[in-house]
Structure 1
Amino acid sequence: MSNPTRIGIIGAGAIAMHGHIPGLKRHSDAQVVAVCDTNSERANALATSHGIPTVYTNWREIIADPNIDAVTVALPNALHAEVSIAALNAGKHVLCEKPLAMTVAQGEEMVATAHRQGRVLAINMSNRPRGEVQYMRAKVAEGRIGTISYASGRMIRRAGIPGFGSWFTRKELSGGGALLDIGVHMLDMVLYILGNPTVSAVRGEVQAVHGPQRRGLGGWGSDRVMDGTFDVDDLASLHLRLADGGLVTIEVTWAFYGQNEERIQVVGNQGGFDFFPTLYGTDKPLRFYSDDNGSPIETIPTLPSLAEPAHNAIYRRFVDTIRGTGSVVASGDDGLAILRLLEATYRSAAEKREITL
């Protein structure tokens, strides 16, 4: 490999192990050269298992390494802005985990820094490249289902609270609970399918139902700490009014007395889609609903074959963008747009009113 893009991994947790490193190593022009984690044992284990030559335990050291061109940031939300801004100022390109930051103000500074430094800032919105999502987005743009009247997204987990006392459940480290953890994915996916329409108003509700009772443990990043802090939401609902008159509803929960469910519905005045995504695929095929001279029609669209696993596009296009041959799946600006809606949801819930944007 000549003149590879050299990448450092900041944060040696599960997403780095199962997502960032394998995805980046698939790129013929990328080389993962360093990993950083405050837990030296975990960092060394990850480096050994993936043949990564350099290990750091301080993120300031990895971003100061002149032999690194870009970094991925897979840290608690509270560190996203600080680490990303420092890396951008050090001349590194950045792929940051979602959400972009804890606050809109932090996100704005991240985006401004990337523009000022002329560096790539990407956000890991990993559902965008899914075949079904790309298909629906294209058909909505073509007008296949007409004018959008309603869209909804639900991500319901029977038992998915990621530990009691993990950083996910401590507001000072996460900024929020289910809404910021999984709501960000569902909100981005639905709005992306719709072509990222202008949102005129947000009404939101958030609750902590099961977490305070130490029920619903499980899911990504979970641990078995049963007596730690839980001061975030485990259930959230938001309602968006679009500038063109359409309505969007998003419901997410970490724990729920009912079946696991992930579902997206998009309805226009000429047709509609029904999609049941899961973390790594789908339980049911995408369905398209329309009518023919008043007779209902239900079809299963034939989707184009993907050249690679959907989530791998995040890493491939990040490297391609750095090298001037592509564009990122989701930019810092995209992440900031979603963060504005998430922050408005929390504000709406606190003030018990609709927030006009």
Structure 2
Amino acid sequence: MIRRIKKLLGRYKNYEQILVTPYRSYATPHHLYVYGRILDNEPLKIQQEQNFFKTVKNTYKQFDSFEIPDAELLLKLPNGHLFTTKSDSEGYFVFNENLKENLAEYCDEEGWLSFELFYKGELYPKTVLLKNPFEGELLVPDEKAEFGVISDIDDTILHTGVTSFFKWRLLKNSLFTNAYRRMPLKGSAELYQKLAIGLQETSRNPMFYLSNSPWNLYEYLKLFLDHNQFPKGPILLRNLRGPFDSTLKPEKPHKQRQIINILESYPHLKFILIGDSGEHDASIYTDIAAQFPDRILCIYLRSVQHKKRMRRVKSIIDNFETTPVLMINYSEEAEQHARENNYII
């Protein structure tokens, strides 16, 4: 609390500990993009058997962030190439670089490239540098990939209760439930594993996970995906806009911008889009398919128990003929469609 008061008064200068978190991102063989955040925070420790009060404490810590602005960071690739950048006023940093060398040569069998991040900012006498270097990874999709998958997270693979009255269920599930105890929607992990393999013997088809959740929940969602054995993929969240944020608001919704970025990054690759009927996925996905008619193989929308929203979604997709759109109640329905269309074995 004392630290928070000092920060509000502009007297908080002496950082206690340096935590650099690079988010799982994606790249092309000749374009590097790394996004992350640097904070004066402890690493989040979510334990499988923690009690309710520990869960609430972890939730508070995720949003009670102490940003480190204007901090210099150095990124080192396996080939020895170095890049530098600085964090912005909210502690976010980005490396956005073009390269002549082929990054795919340094990836593992599933297309993941590991890199190191070094903190080069000022260290005070009592500052603890939690690591140096910090480690990150990004995905360079295999050129032999048959297709990619772009999936929503909320109520598509993770039940959040976004359609509940006043969103009480959403708040309870997202903020007061241990990530280890969150249950994926039945059969979703198995479906995604099969889509990642496709018709091949190895997991070459890239997976991308989208959510309107803030970056504060990155570690929470990453743990959920890994613990439930979803195929590893970039996790794309969004920045929280404060009430006094004077920056220009993006013209397009977060999910739409992210999907377009992915499509433009891999112009040779076709995609399957997976979402739900609870929010705006139907309108966003069909708009994308109309804009890129030859790039979207199909759209799977998981049905939610909300009559009004289901009617709205059906009004959007009933006369949509550009791309097949399938409303599904169970993962097996999407799996059957994927098999019949030779997307999976």
- TM-score relative to the length of structure 1: 0.32
Larger relative contact order (CA 8 Å, sep ≥ 6): 1
Q: Which has the higher helix share?
A: 1
